Structure 1
Amino acid sequence: MVKALTESLSQQQQTQIHVPELANYDLITLAQKYNKMKPPEFEGGIEPLKAEAWVLENEKIFEVFPCTEAHMVLLATFTLKEEARRWWMLVRNDNEGTTWDRFKEIFFEKYFSQCIRDRKVSEFEQLKQGNMTVAEYEAKFTELARYAPRMIDTYYKKARKFEGGLDLDVYD
């Protein structure tokens, strides 16, 4: 992985993608440390939740892994495989100096479209306990809430939304 990452960086520098100066030794060390964190791989395809999970897992690593935004993109995109790698090879030259947030926008445009995210917001808006246990309802609520953070941006709004989806017999 380290050799391939070094070659990838060298190839990116040849295609004039801006990556902050980093000696090869430092890059190798950075890649080795990143690899020890067991980063997820992503192959592409039409499963948007897998794409989102790949981003979330990388962000979890980057919370504790000190590196620049440019290196976040470099390290994360190195874990792209097959179709996803081919896609990135096509679009990366148009996204020179990409920040992590900009990379996520580009990535989600391809693998987790706004229309699918909008459906998740609608699912959250319409969420009711129904036949679920309270624990199952709470898990579903938590899963879907991340798609509609503005709807529950205060404790009060979150509590009201949660309570509004509970069955009435829960209150008895």
Structure 2
Amino acid sequence: MAPVGGQVNVQPVREDLLYKRFRRMKAPEFEGPTDPIAADNWLIDIQVILDFMRLTEQEKVLCASFALRKDARHWWMTVQMRRDVLAMDWQDFVTEFRAMYYNTEILAAQQDEFTSLQQGSMTVMEAVQKFEQLARLCPELVPTEREKVRRMMKMFRTDISKQVSAGSSPPTLVSDCVSRAIRAEYWINRDKEARAQIFKARKEEKVVVKQTQPRQSSESNQKGQTSGPTQNSKQFGRNKRKENFSGQGQQRNFPPKRNNRGIEGSNTDFPQCAKCGKKHLGVCRMGTNACYLCGKEGHYARNCNQNPQNQNQNQNQNLHVQAEM
């Protein structure tokens, strides 16, 4: 290469050598999607490779057009029919490309998406990546760094944006805003994990308590059965005796018991009899032929005159005889 007029004169590279160099770079292909974000990503990727190869303006157009496939290849054929592509520079290619794949309707939809973009369930890095993609298509909406930071702060979730803007010096650069948001997201997630562990531990503790309660109740029932008759078993025995004594399925009424103070009520204060094992006063008549109510022999308690049920029957019979007389 020899300088000509103070500039470097780059000799044209043969197309076969240029083709081999370009293929070794494994450049991405473009098939012509209608999504302007995908088109913009391809344009950025191919431009990085072309700049690295240090090609001329015409060589950039030649290599970029070689990476076009399917619908994009048909579009480039229409450009060749109306323009001299060998005389085009890289900026002309970019202008034609954006005119085709950055149409007004699609860009308007991207602008609406950019203005209403919210982080939602995305991570900070996912939201920032989406923000940058849309910002490239809408440069007029973020003309300055400060405006870009302002829109990014509105995009973040409220809990993150509060921590990012906290302090005496809010962020003015995009890089500072993103780094603060990443730190805020980290500590917020740590706090959520700690609360989740506490909630899980409490839930497991409740499950353990519910599982141990039936076991304790069953153990207490077993102890009650081995130690002696409980109050429920006594009541069951009383009801069973009442059913056995009843001739018509009705419960039999026994005279009320009296305690050692002469007041009707419970016999829990009576001493326990060593003979029958029950609590009562007076002489134990168990094993004798004496009536349990009056103590006389020759009849049972159910036929005793001191039985309130027999007294009521006798009164009814006397009233009936008086009525007949």
If the length of structure 2 is used for normalisation, what is the TM-score? 0.41
Distance of aligned partners of 1:121 and 1:88 in 2 relative to their CA distance in 1, 3 Å threshold: same
Map 1:15-30 → 2, pairs under 5 A = 22=12, 26-30=14-18
Do residues 106 (structure 1) and 91 (structure 2) align? no
State the structure with more CA Rg.
2
- Cα displacement (A) at 1:47: 4.6
Do residues 151 (structure 1) and 141 (structure 2) align? yes
Map 1:1-172 → 2, pairs under 5 A = 22=12, 26-44=14-32, 46-96=34-84, 97-170=87-160, 171=162
- Cα displacement (A) at 1:73: 0.8
Counterpart of 2:27, as a letter, is P
Structure 1 counterpart SS, 2:30: coil
The structure with the greater share of residues assigned to helix is 1
Identify which range, 42-51 or 91-100, moves more after superposition.
Answer: 42-51
Q: Tell me, yes or no, if the aligned pair for 1:49 and 1:112 is still in contact at 8 Å.
A: no
Distance of aligned partners of 1:83 and 1:141 in 2 relative to their CA distance in 1, 3 Å threshold: closer
Quote the Cα distance in structure 1 between the aligned partners of 2:12 and 2:46: 21
Structure with the bigger RCO (C-alpha within 8 Å, sep 6+) is: 1
Q: Tell me, yes or no, if the aligned pair for 2:34 and 2:101 is still in contact at 8 Å.
A: yes
- Deviation sequence 1:30-60 (CA, Å, 0-9, x none): 2211111111222335454443333222112
Quote the Cα distance in structure 2 between the aligned partners of 1:168 and 1:47: 30
Quote the Cα distance in structure 1 between the aligned partners of 2:78 and 2:46: 22
Q: Tell me, yes or no, if the aligned pair for 1:62 and 1:72 is still in contact at 8 Å.
A: yes
RMSD after superposition = 2.5
- Deviation sequence 1:90-113 (CA, Å, 0-9, x none): 221422222222222222333332
Structure 2 counterpart SS, 1:153: coil
- Cα displacement (A) at 1:76: 0.9
Distance of aligned partners of 1:159 and 1:83 in 2 relative to their CA distance in 1, 3 Å threshold: closer
Q: Tell me, yes or no, if the aligned pair for 2:31 and 2:68 is still in contact at 8 Å.
A: yes
Quote the Cα distance in structure 2 between the aligned partners of 1:85 and 1:136: 32
Structure 2: runs of 5 or more not aligned: 1-9, 164-325
Structure 2 counterpart SS, 1:122: helix
- Equivalent residue for 2:280? none
Identity %, equivalent residues: 32
- Cα displacement (A) at 1:21: 7.8
Quote the Cα distance in structure 2 between the aligned partners of 1:62 and 1:76: 8
Quote the Cα distance in structure 1 between the aligned partners of 2:33 and 2:119: 32
- Deviation sequence 1:6-46 (CA, Å, 0-9, x none): xxxxxxxxxxxxxx9836xx332222111111112223354
If the length of structure 1 is used for normalisation, what is the TM-score? 0.72
Counterpart of 1:84, as a letter, is A
